[in-house]
């Protein structure tokens, strides 16, 4: 019972304020619930946010108030309906813009609606993946290897484990870890241009066991300070730049801000984004800025967690047209992990990430 009550409280707060992750962070740690029960709460809240439009329809049809408690009942399928007849936006609970995109990429619907697994990136600078999995199991968590060689599928409470707290691993989706691996395949000196808190940089440091020269930059200084602390705890050799460096690099990674619909399975609020067009210009401008750091023969790698054309293929087509000194290089890896487009490709190991590899040829 307490699980349902806490879930309803979180949903009520989310209905008022938005930001599902913050609402959970504000309430769950003080709920007095065990890790196992917190996981149950998180699953209910995720489900309600994931299917909010559908549950709205159920509550409206049953004449019930849109309150946390009733959403919890609906999520436990205690209020029923005949789904098949409902329009896609309601049935799958997505914005009308996203419904349009799903008609274009029907395979992606299953991915954005699936219950997310918790994946860790093992810190191979500190120990082997096998050893880190053993440490997780000793703490009572499930651990199973995945792709790439740093990825561990585990239970969601493992994010609070000693393994994570002590920097033996960090929480990171498998597609992002794969981006880190690919980035390192294109050269030794790497600039992570939109480094944020450093998720990709840490994964590069781990996969290549500190043998790559990694530098980072981000407009957000606060994030860079967090990155510095994480790198220290991780034992990762990463140089943080608070200004755009003037040097040239073998590889410049642009993990640009985006709508995040590719990560909707972990952040279901992204399913309700209506306006995908607002990111394109910013993404294009960042790419133009970052390209200045690419040496002759070097690579510019563009990544977004989205599949809207305006954030993905259209950006790269436009860039290649305007900058004929860059040519696209196709991704070479096991076919199960990605879907090639006319330019770039979608990685689908975990989140749906769009990736384009561009080489500076003159």
Ligand X SMILES: C[S@@+](CC[C@H](N)C(=O)[O-])C[C@H]1O[C@@H](n2cnc3c(N)ncnc32)[C@H](O)[C@@H]1O
| Identity of the residue, 101 or 252, whose beta carbon is nearer to ligand X in the bound complex | 252
SS3 302: strand
CB of 287 to ligand X, least distance (A): 10
CB atoms near residue 328 (< 10 Å)? 16
Cα–Cα distance, 262 to 89 (Å, whole number): 17
Residues in region 114-173 near ligand X by CB under 6 A: none
| Identity of the residue, 66 or 223, whose beta carbon is nearer to ligand X in the bound complex | 223
Does 245 engage in binding with ligand X (CB under 6 A)? no
Q: Is the peptide bond before 148 cis (omega within 30 degrees of 0)?
A: yes
| Identity of the residue, 2 or 288, whose beta carbon is nearer to ligand X in the bound complex | 288
| Identity of the residue, 121 or 124, whose beta carbon is nearer to ligand X in the bound complex | 121
Does 199 engage in binding with ligand X (CB under 6 A)? yes
Does 223 engage in binding with ligand X (CB under 6 A)? yes
Cα–Cα distance, 256 to 300 (Å, whole number): 12
Letter string b/e over residues 219-257, b meaning 16 or more CB atoms within 10 A of that residue's CB: eeeebbeebeebbeebebebebbeeeeeeebbbbbbbbb
Does 200 engage in binding with ligand X (CB under 6 A)? yes
CB of 241 to ligand X, least distance (A): 11
> Pick from 46, 51, 12, 102: which is nearest to 266 by CA?
46
Does 257 engage in binding with ligand X (CB under 6 A)? yes
Cβ atoms of 216 and 192 closer than 8 Å? yes
| Identity of the residue, 196 or 309, whose beta carbon is nearer to ligand X in the bound complex | 196
| Identity of the residue, 6 or 178, whose beta carbon is nearer to ligand X in the bound complex | 178
Which among 20-28, 76-84, 214-222, 322-330 is the span making contact with ligand X, rule CB under 6 A?
214-222
Please select the residue that binds ligand X; options are 93, 97, 175, 197, rule is CB under 6 A.
Answer: 197
Residue 115: phi and psi, rounded to 5, are -70, 125
CB of 89 to ligand X, least distance (A): 27
Cα distances (angstroms) measured from residue 198 to each of 136, 193, 224, 265, 352: 23, 10, 8, 21, 19
Question: Which x/- pattern, by CB under 6 A, does the window 280-299 give for ligand X?
Answer: ------x-------------
Cβ atoms of 118 and 158 closer than 8 Å? yes
Residue 214: phi and psi, rounded to 5, are -110, 130
Does 255 engage in binding with ligand X (CB under 6 A)? yes
Which among 102-110, 159-167, 251-259, 342-350 is the span making contact with ligand X, rule CB under 6 A?
251-259
Please select the residue that binds ligand X; options are 10, 101, 143, 194, rule is CB under 6 A.
Answer: 194
Q: Which parts of this chain interact with ligand X (CB under 6 A)?
A: 176, 193-200, 218-220, 223, 255-257, 286
């Amino acid at each position: 019972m307490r699980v349902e009550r806490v879930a309803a409280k979180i949903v009520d707060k989310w209905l008022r304020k938005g930001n599902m992750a913050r609402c959970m962070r504000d309430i769950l740690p003080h709920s007095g619930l065990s890790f196992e029960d917190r996981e149950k709460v998180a699953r209910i809240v995720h489900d309600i946010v994931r299917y909010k439009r559908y549950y709205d329809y159920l509550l409206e049809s049953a004449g019930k108030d849109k309150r946390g408690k009733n959403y919890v009942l609906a999520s436990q399928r205690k209020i029923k309906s005949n789904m098949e007849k409902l329009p896609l936006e309601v049935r799958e609970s997505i914005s009308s813009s996203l419904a349009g995109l799903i008609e274009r990429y029907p395979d992606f619907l299953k991915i954005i609606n699936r219950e997310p697994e918790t994946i860790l990136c093992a810190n191979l600078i500190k120990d082997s993946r096998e050893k880190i999995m053993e440490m997780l199991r000793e703490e009572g968590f499930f651990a199973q290897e995945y792709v790439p060689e740093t990825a561990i599928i585990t239970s969601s409470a493992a994010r609070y484990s000693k393994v994570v707290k002590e920097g033996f691993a960090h929480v990171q989706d498998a597609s992002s870890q794969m981006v880190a691996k690919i980035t390192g395949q294109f050269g030794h000196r790497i600039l992570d241009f939109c480094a944020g808190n450093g998720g990709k940089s840490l994964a590069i440091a781990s996969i290549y066991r500190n043998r790559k020269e990694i530098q980072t930059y981000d407009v957000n200084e606060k994030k860079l300070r967090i990155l510095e602390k994480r790198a220290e705890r991780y034992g990762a050799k990463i140089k943080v730049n608070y200004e755009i460096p003037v040097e040239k690099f073998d590889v410049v990674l642009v993990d640009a801000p985006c709508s995040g619909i590719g990560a909707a399975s972990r952040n279901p609020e992204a399913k309700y984004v209506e306006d995908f067009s607002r990111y394109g210009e910013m993404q294009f401008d960042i790419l133009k800025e970052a390209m200045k750091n690419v040496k002759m023969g070097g690579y510019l790698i563009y990544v977004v967690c989205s599949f809207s054309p305006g954030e993905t293929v259209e950006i790269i087509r436009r860039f290649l047209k305007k900058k004929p000194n860059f040519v696209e290089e196709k991704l070479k890896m096991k076919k199960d992990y990605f879907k090639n487009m006319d330019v770039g490709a979608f990685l689908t190991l975990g989140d749906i990430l769009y990736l384009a590899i561009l080489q500076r040829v003159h």
